[in-house]
Structure 1
């Protein structure tokens, strides 16, 4: 009489492993990869570099607004500042999104690290819109914020915002 194999429990079969088969080809010497003939290059490298057009510098008021508004935004998300202080800085839809974000953000203090402002729309004589990029640090992780600010009643206002 032969002994039957011991039954395998579902837990053991779930965690069973199998060897992985190596599908990579064997390494070849470098001489095997050289082409048999080397043709001269068909293009010439130019020693002159093309000058890229310089972007207009963002107005100082846009940079100051972006830094201040983003600092306040991070403080609202951290529940260190009331939401009402964001209302003059951004559209009502964005304020609602920030409230929703603050509700799911774990408690902790964030620190604004770097803010960059880039002009994207110039009116007849002055800049009317700019993109804002920033990073902030929370609980040892770096997060990003991007948005668009537009001139609004003699000041600036966020009209788009993405918080990562």
Structure 2
């Protein structure tokens, strides 16, 4: 069963199907890979260590292995309420952090993508960490999948 309407041409008539010659025509240009940036700004080592500790602690709070108060120095205040709401759900299997990747956004911020497992399922976490005015790193955005 076709759920889309028939394509219409400029004059309101149906478009003709492409000819076999057009489908098998060789492309006249060479396909090239997209240019990669020569250097990407390095993420500070302190940000990477902080992010690993913070994400592990978030997963431990969600599994009820730690109290939510342990996240207070690591998360921005609006995120504490969100994580507190999520920890009301009881999960069967404990979460295990698998891979954490950081990408520098500037000299004082980094975007984080991570994966974790819970039982047989692989899930994702996205976050943003920023350097605060007093020289500490803090998670300012968090998305748990």
TM-score, with structure 2 as normaliser: 0.77
Does residue 59 of structure 2 align to residue 79 of structure 1?
no
Q: Max radius of gyration: which structure?
A: 1
Give the structure 1 partner of residue 125 of structure 2: 145
1:100 is displaced (CA, Å) by 0.5
Cα 1:151/1:108, change in 2 over 3 Å = same
Deviation string 1:72-102 (CA, Å, 9 cap, x unpaired) is 0000000001111100001111011001111
Does residue 87 of structure 2 align to residue 102 of structure 1?
yes
Give secondary structure in 2 for the equivalent of 1:133: strand
Give secondary structure in 1 for the equivalent of 2:112: strand
Cα 1:156/1:45, change in 2 over 3 Å = same
Return 5+ residue gaps in structure 1 as ranges: 1-20, 23-31, 122-126
TM-score, with structure 1 as normaliser: 0.69
RMSD: 2.7
Return 5+ residue gaps in structure 2 as ranges: 3-18
Give the structure 1 partner of residue 98 of structure 2: 113
Does residue 102 of structure 2 align to residue 129 of structure 1?
no
How many equivalent residue pairs? 128
